[in-house]
Chains A and B, each alone.
Chain A
Amino acid sequence: DTAVSQTPKYLVTQMGNDKSIKCEQNLGHDTMYWYKQDSKKFLKIMFSYNNKELIINETVPNRFSPKSPDKAHLNLHINSLELGDSAVYFCASSQDNGQWASDTIYFGEGSWLTVV
């Protein structure tokens, strides 16, 4: 069983469309994250939720909206997609609230988003 699973793995869509990426973790973790990896492989955090509460909200366009229906799920919805949104989006989770330095983050397999 995959610990952190996200769907879809590949997504090709046109500019202006709205799309969602779903994420689920079966590790019983309290905290979930969305990270973005750009074309240069640089990874940066976008959002983090702890027990359905938003605790990190980086400087991300308002077109990106995370939703956490429960602590095992964290979905990412993107409105009005732009070419620059093309990237790999990683969902991740960690045991505690992420405040402890030792709290290891486990990643999903990534979702490759291509906007054309």
Chain B
Amino acid sequence: AQKITQTQPGMFVQEKEAVTLDCTYDTSDPSYGLFWYKQPSSGEMIFLIYQGSYDQQNATEGRYSLNFQKARKSANLVISASQLGDSAMYFCAMRGDSSYKLIFGSGTRLLVRP
């Protein structure tokens, strides 16, 4: 069975500082993908970043980077230079090659303080 765990229900970060949102996963699939989504208060789900299990380098997309530690089964999202607009729910998700299903963690609510 596949499982995603986000242990931080809520976090604060000061504007312009970096923040790390934790995500651990469990799967028996040898090949899998890890995703992060952002859900602002307006409700839409926005795709942020993807990391493949066989990718040699950590994924980066602008201010977002994914700290992928395969041996620890962790895929933490790092947001650099936080902005007020980063305040949102963040979801970690995973899909293995054996399944059509993208499964989600419980989310982390991030609040950026001015």
Contacts and interface: CB of A to CB of B under 8 A. Distances in A.
Interface stretch (A17-25, A78-86, A106-114): A106-114
A31 B102 CA distance: 13
B45 to A, nearest CB: 4
Interface string B24-50: 000001011101010100111111001
Query: Interface size bucket, B side?
Result: 20 to 34
Contact of A88 (B31, B43, B50): B43
Contacts of B43: 88, 109-110, 112
B45 A100 contact: no
Contacts of B89: 41
Contacts of B46: 107
Interface residues of A, number: 27
B100 A101 contact: no
A106 B91 contact: no
Nearest to A44: B104
B31 A99 contact: no
Interface of B: 29, 31-33, 35, 37, 39, 42-47, 50, 52-53, 89, 91, 95-97, 100-104, 106-107
23 contacts: A41-B89, A41-B106, A41-B107, A42-B107, A45-B102, A45-B103, A56-B100, A56-B101, A92-B45, A97-B100, A98-B95, A101-B32, A101-B95, A103-B33, A103-B95, A104-B47, A105-B35, A106-B47, A107-B46, A107-B47, A108-B44, A109-B42, A110-B43
